[in-house]
Amino acid sequence: MKIVDRVFGVLLILATCGHIAGTLIWLPAMTGMWVWSLGAALCGLVLGPLHLVRANRPCDRTVALIATLGTVGWFFVALSFGLSVHHLLDPRPLTHMIISAVLVGFGLRTLMGNAART
């Protein structure tokens, strides 16, 4: 399971790189939308590696809590984007929602495992 956990951390990083590429290709540079889109991508670029750290440090409750709560937020950002374009099955938000849901599950698993140990 640890490998699957890591794979989804990497998938979040790759999906975020796709988000950045889309922003750079499709949005006019230095507009408000461009800046906010790249700012949102920063969240994914922080959360992906944070989940890789969490997967390698199963006893670190603080990292697990921060990664999990941040990814819950990222899930709702992706959901909100899907709602804003009136298409929840659009691959852009759907990919991020699926990856986020899986990572939240792994994060909760880490937190519950730690709760059982204490």
- The whole model's pTM is what? 0.92
Q: Which residues of 62-72 are buried (b: 16+ CB within 10 A; e: fewer)?
A: ebbebbbebbb
pLDDT of 116 strictly over 90: no
Q: What is the pLDDT of residues 13-71, one digit of tens each?
A: 999 999 999 999 999 999 999 999 999 999 999 999 999 999 999 999 999 999 999 99
Quick check: 44 and 12 in contact, CB under 8 A?
yes
What single string gives the DSSP state of each residue in 12-77? HHHHHHHHHHHHHHHSPTTSHHHHHHHHHHHHHHHHHHHHHHHHH-TT-HHHHHHHHHHHHHHHHH
